[in-house]
Amino acid sequence: MASPTSGISRLGARSAGSSSPTTSSSPSSSSSSSSSSSASSSDSAASSAGASSSGASSVCANATGAESESARASIRRVRRAMESSFERPAYHGLIGVVNASRRSARRVPGAARRTPFHLVAQPGAACQSGPGGGPPLPALTVVPLGGLGEVGMNCMLIECEGDLVVVDAGVTFPGRVHGIDLDHPRLDHALANQQKLRAILITHGHEDHIGALPYLLRELDQPVPVYGPPYALALIRKRLEEHHLDFPEMIATRPGQRFEVGCFDVEPVRVNHSIPDATSLILRTPAGTVVHSGDFKIEERPLDGEHFGTAALQRVRDEGVDLLLSDSTNIDVEGDSGEEADVAEAIDALVAGAEHRVVVAQFASNVYRMKAVFEAARRHGRRVLLLGRSVRNHAAVSRELGLLDGVADLILQDDDARDVPRDQLCVIATGTQGEPPAALSRLARGTHPALELEAGDTVVLSSRIIPGNEKIVFDLTDMLERVGCILHHRKNRPDVHCSGHAARDEQRRYLELCRPKTFIPVHGTFHHLRRHAALAREVGVEQTLVIENGAIVQLERGRLEVVGEATVGRVHIDRGTPVDEELLKERRLIGELGHAVVAFSIGRGDRFLGHVDIVARGFLAAEVEDALLDDASDYVRRDLRRAKGEGPGELEERARRALRRYFYKKLRRKPIVTAMALEVG
């Protein structure tokens, strides 16, 4: 495939206007340009057409002969198309169909709220023409379904010339919320456009990037190939087996080995992260070159010897990066994220100095951390016990792929752990966030069948506390203190953990390596995205666009524009089954208000027979329950006897209302009430 940049004349047009609803100049250019808000999208588009024309005139003044005439013809075609678009309510060629006039756009039931966004453009953003100054390049469209304006559920759609790829499909874990195990992004938009879908591209194997794949793959009418690093594909296979799904075609990617998918020329780039085989993706297309960072950090001393792909990013920078999508997670962390090599040294020192058992609690996917524990255990004459299903799964995958060699003789089975002297045992456990079913919580409560902690044992919390989990983690550490364990964590021993996400200095370096013409920050809350966009402007990026999930963004002629919105949201999963919002609302209300069931008997002709039975859960104290329910039964009985000619359904509604009325009079609360009419005879 020829390089997309070959034969392309990149013309430095200066544009005074933009069709974006919100624009502003960067500080460096405020003296030479001004911006204004449009009264409507039509006004905005018209000003954009005029700006494009005047900007192109200055370009054409620098061109000669056929190039000049071709450029003028292109501008005329673009202007005619924009003027005629005012007469056509919708236009195609994007992912889906979007309204040309955002003011008159009708809402789709279930659609997301209007996506807020913030565009900052430096005047003089490059206008791209085709080879020899011919027609403008095709547009490239980007639609985030998850991961923007939130942490987790990362999923991005990218389309060019009718070819669509999905970059990652992840989940998030909401915690103990009404029985919900996980959330994944609504995939309606991807499924509605699956006839264009050419491949699913995976950057790495964390659940917030691969966890939604089973839910996407089972809904597709035709199988779609999945491309990803070997470690990620191994985890995906296990996940698909759990869901009893057939494997699609899965193609292992390697850094530097380019492959083609539709009109996309894809090149994976090695990056450092807290899981093996993490990559960024370079996507070269006829519409321009896009770099998707994936999750990354930059390490000088990677434990696996796989150095960050600086050279690859420098090469694509020299070709020209039209759009960068980059991880914003740690934008608030100054400096750099730290090195796994330093954490390995800290763990080795703690194991060397421990008198009794050493328990290292960590995120299961951090194989580098796991390997550091194994190496410390071997150096200091200890065996290793793996506690927690996810830790065992990652250890097994790592050994299959040769990432954790030479440890088989160190691994203990659960049944053997109690027989090992305390000063000869290391434990790698799940449960860094205080999850009650996880191994560390069970150890702290003394309920784990494999082991019982004792005073003097060392516990290392080799992780950060995810925001929102502070109380449950503090409760966990308090339990460990009561046992008499010696605790090490980031507050009293900062070197026991480092993040897998780039801090601010590393994000700056990534921006400088790519030098993109346009930038959309991804992977983070709206606060993270805005701060990352500000950093990009400091580095000199011409345009930054801050969006959230559902924004349909076009990159055309070197400019970013939000042209519509897609239906987005969350799908709640309980034990593998989707839970709709109404059911979740019902669970929440039952949890807050309690639940009561009233059953009564009816005979022939739907005549009430006088028997009423009530069961209540979750809102009555034991000492008053019997007396109160007897009184409530009498209240409902009297109300039912007043019924005249009502059928079973009407009687049930009468009983339900009567019981709610009674509880409100007595308790000032209205629990959820279910009523059942039982036919007798």
CB 596 within 8 A of CB 673: yes
pLDDT of residue 179: 79
CATH of 580-679, one of 3.30.499.10, 3.30.1360.200, 3.10.20.580, 3.30.70.20: 3.10.20.580
CB 171 within 8 A of CB 151: no
- Residues contacting residue 48 through CB under 8 Å, at least 6 positions apart: 17, 18, 19, 82
Nearest to 2 by CA among 300, 315, 319, 250: 319
Kind of pairing between the strands at 425-429 and 358-361: parallel
pLDDT of residue 568: 94
Mean residue pLDDT of the chain comes to 84
Which of 584 and 369 is assigned the larger pLDDT?
Answer: 369
- pLDDT tens per residue, range 51-66: 333 333 333 333 344 4
pLDDT tops 70 at residue 271: yes
Please name the helix (run of DSSP H) or strand (run of DSSP E) that holds residue 130, with its range, or none: strand 127-131
- pLDDT tens per residue, range 153-207: 999 999 999 999 999 999 998 876 777 888 999 999 999 999 999 999 999 999 9
- Residues contacting residue 60 through CB under 8 Å, at least 6 positions apart: 68, 71, 72, 75
Nearest to 48 by CA among 103, 107, 10, 100: 100
Model's pTM, two decimal places? 0.76
Output the six-digit token pair for 447.
């309920």
- Rounded to whole angstroms, the Cα distance separating 669 from 681 reads 36
**Sign of the torsion angle spanned by Cα atoms 643, 647, 652, 653:** negative
pLDDT confidence band for 95 (50 / 70 / 90): very low
pLDDT confidence band for 119 (50 / 70 / 90): low
pLDDT tops 60 at residue 100: no
CATH of domain 8-335+500-574: 3.60.15.10
- Which CATH homologous superfamily contains domain 340-496? Metallo-hydrolase/oxidoreductase (3.40.50.10710)
- pLDDT tens per residue, range 616-625: 999 988 888 8
- Rounded to whole angstroms, the Cα distance separating 10 from 322 reads 11
Domain residue spans in the chain? 8-335+500-574, 340-496, 580-679
